[in-house]
Homo-oligomer: A and B are copies of this chain.
């Protein structure tokens, strides 16, 4: 709970930063861009373009899927969003740009963020230094989330 203080104001803050970045980059602040960004920033589940499109039907009934794709690509170029590395056929996106890592449930495919400061500050192994210029390092964890474990347990009791 304590980590969840004032989520709205932080979203609002994120929107302001977003608008600021768009102005600086000469990206027009269209209704579509604002809504797409807000929807992604609000999401915690790393949605695909199609999922975003579906969610935005209510607020933007005429929004087309190709605009979602185009917009996400533009945002990505301007480092406003990132594609999430997955094994999925659909690309997944996130607006969370600060350092974090992912846990993926192989059963329900849910992707969650987590933080790991001690890892972040650990130096890389020696032999990697000569590989080139390293920009970032991230951990991905795979497993089965509590929810899916419980479902399985319910179906096949021990």
> Is B116 a contact partner of A103 (Cβ separation < 8 A)?
no
Contacting residue for A140 out of B105, B118, B140, B146, CB 8 A:
B140
Mark contacts of A119-133 with chain B using CB atoms, 8 A cut-off: 1 yes-contact digit, 0 otherwise. Answer: 100101101101111
> Is A133 a contact partner of B144 (Cβ separation < 8 A)?
yes
Q: Would you call A58 an interface residue if the criterion is a C-beta within 8 Å of the partner chain's C-beta atoms?
A: no
Q: How large is the interface on A (under 10, 10 to 19, 20 to 34, 35 or more residues)?
A: 35 or more
Q: Bound state CA distance, A89 and B88, in angstroms?
A: 10
> Is A87 a contact partner of B85 (Cβ separation < 8 A)?
yes
Q: Bound state CA distance, A86 and B86, in angstroms?
A: 6
Residue of B nearest to A107 (CB): B132
In the assembled complex, how far is the CB of residue A152 from the closest CB belonging to chain B, in whole angstroms? 10
